[in-house]
A and B are shown apart, each in its own frame.
Chain A
Amino acid sequence: MLKLLLAPFRNTTGIARWILITGLVITAMFVIFAIFAPWIAPYGFAQKIDASGDRFPKMGEPSAAHWFGTNDQFYDILSRVIWGARTELTVVLLSVLLAVVIGVPLGLLSGFLGGWVDRALVFVMDALYAFPSLLLAIVFAFLLQARLGGAGILAAALSLTAIYIPQYFRVVRSTTVSAREETYVEAARAIGAKPRTIMGKYLFGNVIQSVPVIGTLNAADAISTLAALGFVGLGIQPTEAAEWGYDLSRALDDAAAGIWWTTLFPGLAIVLLVTGLTLIGEGLNETVNPALRKRRIRKVVLTRGSVTEPERPGTDQNEVVTP
């Protein structure tokens, strides 16, 4: 297990390793914030009054009591940034996990079974995938808001899930299609292994490799998208959880009024965490997929060109996979 975890480091050299390490360090910092928020953050995320019952200053400048200052809701910005890490990572983890749990088996099944089911699924997924992901998330958030009541963590996570499922589906399906023809799978089939065994034992292991890469890249994208949802007013309410996108959108007016600290810190937090996650993705890309260094680079390349809006489905992907 440890060996497996360390593999990326051993497999990398020079710059790639540093990129990976930098990404990990940045991300680890936010993970620590997220887990230990109650101990690290000086105040609660919706706290306006200190222990002695005095109200925080409104839009107070950074000071000894409030290192990052306070915003127009009297909240302590440092605390909101730290608690925000928890919200962001929860939403991202939830959405990526859900997307993996739904997308991977679907892709596996579709790729393995082929035929009519495969075509129909590919069709729907391609249609969803082609759609601008931010728009899709906005529409989903808009609808889930009406359905789930307030704009909550769950609603946000579900709207993000919807846009990532097709990505896992597509990658897993195409890997499956190519792996299906590999000798060891053929061999398994020849010795009479059941389809379930083949899928579970042989294909899954092969296919799952590409998931961490997409996962981290999706996670980075999810943070940006969540912030964007906050900006268009479909994010998470401040009393429910601290969310950087909401804080940022509230603070846009202040920035114009010369109050820089309310926008700077949540903004920096977003940039840092997205950067950290993207760097991990880039690093993993070059290590987990040794193919990158070989000739048949194509597949990996596309995945990565796509960091943001990955390879568009359909043709390129298939081209890559089809021998």
Chain B
Amino acid sequence: MNRRRGLLAVASAGVLVASLAACGSGGDGDGNDGSSSGGSSWTLGTTETVTAMDPAGSYDFGSWNLQYNIFEQLMVVPAGESDPQPDAAESCTYDDPQQITCKLREGLKFSNGHDLTSSDVKFSFERNIAIADPNGSSVLLGSITDSTNPDKPKLADGAIETPDDTTVIFHLNKPDTTFMKVLTSATSSIVDEEVFPADKLLGDSDVVGSGPYKLSQYKAGEQAVLEKNDKYAGEREGKTDRLFIQYFSDPAPLKQAIDSGQVDIAWRTLSPTDLNDLEGNDNVNVLKGKGSEFRYWVWQLGTPVGKQKAVRQAAAYLIDREAIAKNAYDDTVKPAFSIVPPGFAGQKDSFQEKYGDTPDVDKAKQVLQQAGVTMPVAIKLGYTPSHYGPNAVDEATELKGQLENGGVFKVSVDDAEWERYQTLYKQNAYDLFILGWYPDFLDADNYLSPFLRDGGFYGNNYSNPQVNKLLDQELAETDAAKREEIIGQLQDITAEDVPLIPSWNGQNVAVATKNMEGVEETLDPTYIFRFWMISKK
């Protein structure tokens, strides 16, 4: 007995010594941070996550951004512009509002050396629609989808024609002037039909594309390593041989990492406090570009309060967007006066025209008095604590204060986790609730159709036949000037009816160390992070 215990005691002493070696030493190791891959490699830190590397399995920034760099699409939106330019295609043009013809560039190759032909293009769309992954974005391809059997959606017969190796013709099932924009999005990435299975997703590490970079390592949730694709011969040639993307679960360590130079770029998403602090760091630049992220306060027209137009308008008079941007977000967001963000063809600040750019308590009271509504109007404000970041609660309490100004409203605030929130707001649990939106592709329509047509995604029971008609017209209109006018009308009607109140639109913010080049140029409303434009001095 005693002997055995003695042995254990010895063993424990051994453990102690080992522990000294394991965690105590290493202080003199200066061999870390040695750049083993040439001076030009750099690291991007982000809190975005990757759902799937396969273009058929994702519908989020984190995944799409890698796909823009690994794959080619037929068309591409260059940084800071809004009109699609050819990418894998030499040209794509509307023959009429229901038909697009694309010619591919000669000699396209995937990074594995396989040829890229029109057949790969067709295959890519076909499998994306057929797989219909729940995390995927095949819903964007509605104009070429046959969904007569909802269990098994498929590419509509004859929707894609490939008369020869370099020609692809799309036949749309309805007039759709936004489809050209869809062709620029990552959901339209061209994949190798010899590598990707037709009926299921390919493993993350195995994806092969024809874009400027290729994926050489992927550790889910930790890091991705991209290397220059030497088979790529297009305009988007990469400037770096090897680059790293590191994934962070929290903004706090990401902030530390960029602050101390452990990563070269931090992109999405640092807290307002962090950004303000980093402005004072001489080693990094805080770079801001236009954004297209949106936040709205949506009225639920199904509740007794929400169905009264006067009440909705009164709130539109009272909201103080400047104060929200300043107090809840430290001015890292821009006040929004239209449901379409600035910079889009046809955008106009209809809410500013109608309600002025500062809050007006008297006007609010006047509207309510005229409609015979007694004040204060009791309403329930809903928000969700984590889905839109920790600052959503600050925006909610800020708005509560503004609405209660002058005793116009009496606001109670309620919250629910995102999952339950989605059910609750559709079930009329709140009169006014916060929701956000990121565009799928950059077109004004992507900020209108999804919400205005019969309540849309927001399920707020708003319906206006005139709006529906205008939406149809706008989608079929190929004349830019006429289309812009219709889009303007839609915004004016929204400001009058107030089914929702735009609150702010976000900026595309990155923090980069001083020796990074090309970061600022890629920060545009597409939120595409163009690795190929970026290099380290």
Residues of A with Cβ closer than 8 Å to B? 46, 48-49, 55, 58-59, 72-74, 145-146, 149-151, 233, 237-239, 250, 252-254, 256-259
| Most chain B beta-carbon neighbours within 10 Å: one of A72, A233, A254 | A72
- Contact, CB under 8 Å: B273 / A72: yes
Instruction: Enumerate chain B residues within 8 angstroms of A49, measured Cβ to Cβ.
Output: 401
- Contact, CB under 8 Å: A257 / B385: no
Decide yes or no whether B176 CB sits under 8 A from chain A: no
Decide yes or no whether B386 CB sits under 8 A from chain A: yes
Residue of B nearest to A233 (CB): B386
Decide yes or no whether B394 CB sits under 8 A from chain A: yes
Instruction: Enumerate chain B residues within 8 angstroms of A73, measured Cβ to Cβ.
Output: 393-394, 397
Beyond known contacts A58-B327, A145-B420, A256-B256: 15 more, CB 8 A cutoff: A48-B397, A49-B401, A58-B330, A73-B393, A73-B397, A146-B419, A149-B414, A149-B415, A150-B417, A233-B386, A238-B393, A252-B252, A253-B274, A254-B273, A257-B255
Known: A74-B327, A237-B385. A145 touches B273 (CB 8 A): no
Q: Chain B contact residues (Cβ within 8 angstroms of A): what range? A: 20 to 34
Contact with A along B233-256 (1 / 0, CB 8 A): 000000000000000000110011
Decide yes or no whether B303 CB sits under 8 A from chain A: no
Residue of B nearest to A149 (CB): B416
- Contact, CB under 8 Å: B416 / A150: yes
Instruction: Enumerate chain B residues within 8 angstroms of A252, measured Cβ to Cβ.
Output: 252
Contact with A along B72-105 (1 / 0, CB 8 A): 0000000000000000000000000000000000
- Contact, CB under 8 Å: A150 / B415: yes
Closest 7 CB pairs of A and B: A257-B277, A253-B271, A150-B415, A252-B252, A145-B417, A253-B273, A149-B416
- B278-320 interface (Cβ within 8 A of A): none
* Bound complex: CA A239 to CA B330 (Å): 20
* Bound complex: CA A74 to CA B397 (Å): 11
Decide yes or no whether B464 CB sits under 8 A from chain A: no
* Bound complex: CA A151 to CA B273 (Å): 25
* Bound complex: CA A256 to CA B274 (Å): 8
Residue of B nearest to A257 (CB): B277
Residues of B with Cβ closer than 8 Å to A? 251-252, 255-256, 259, 271-274, 276-277, 327, 330, 385-386, 390, 393-394, 396-397, 401, 413-417, 419-420, 424
Cβ-neighbour of A46 out of B256, B397, B414 (below 8 A): B397
Cβ-neighbour of A250 out of B327, B390, B413, B420 (below 8 A): B390
Instruction: Enumerate chain A residues within 8 angstroms of B414, measured Cβ to Cβ.
Output: 149-150
Instruction: Enumerate chain A residues within 8 angstroms of B271, measured Cβ to Cβ.
Output: 253
* Bound complex: CA A252 to CA B273 (Å): 10
| Most chain A beta-carbon neighbours within 10 Å: one of B256, B273, B386, B417 | B273
* Bound complex: CA A252 to CA B250 (Å): 10
Instruction: Enumerate chain A residues within 8 angstroms of B274, measured Cβ to Cβ.
Output: 253, 256-257
Residue of A nearest to B323 (CB): A55
Residue of B nearest to A231 (CB): B250
Cβ-neighbour of B277 out of A74, A145, A146, A256 (below 8 A): A256
- Contact, CB under 8 Å: B256 / A237: no
Instruction: Enumerate chain A residues within 8 angstroms of B385, measured Cβ to Cβ.
Output: 150-151, 233, 237
- Contact, CB under 8 Å: B415 / A256: no
Residue of A nearest to B275 (CB): A257
Known: A146-B419, A149-B416. A253 touches B255 (CB 8 A): yes
A255 to chain B, nearest CB (A): 8
Residue of A nearest to B326 (CB): A58
* Bound complex: CA A58 to CA B328 (Å): 10
Residue of B nearest to A251 (CB): B273
* Bound complex: CA A151 to CA B385 (Å): 9
* Bound complex: CA A125 to CA B224 (Å): 43
| Most chain A beta-carbon neighbours within 10 Å: one of B252, B272, B276 | B252
Known: A145-B417, A146-B420, A150-B414. A256 touches B327 (CB 8 A): no
B320 to chain A, nearest CB (A): 12
5 examples of A-B residue contacts, CB within 8 angstroms: A59-B273, A72-B394, A146-B420, A149-B416, A253-B271
- Contact, CB under 8 Å: A239 / B413: yes
Instruction: Enumerate chain A residues within 8 angstroms of B397, measured Cβ to Cβ.
Output: 46, 48, 73, 239
- Contact, CB under 8 Å: B277 / A258: yes
B321 to chain A, nearest CB (A): 17
Instruction: Enumerate chain A residues within 8 angstroms of B390, measured Cβ to Cβ.
Output: 250
* Bound complex: CA A74 to CA B327 (Å): 9
* Bound complex: CA A145 to CA B418 (Å): 10
- Contact, CB under 8 Å: A239 / B393: yes
- Contact, CB under 8 Å: B252 / A253: yes
* Bound complex: CA A230 to CA B6 (Å): 46
Residue of A nearest to B398 (CB): A48
Residue of B nearest to A239 (CB): B413
- Contact, CB under 8 Å: B420 / A256: no
* Bound complex: CA A252 to CA B277 (Å): 13
Known: A233-B386, A253-B255, A256-B256. A146 touches B417 (CB 8 A): yes
B268 to chain A, nearest CB (A): 15
A242 to chain B, nearest CB (A): 13
- Contact, CB under 8 Å: B255 / A256: yes
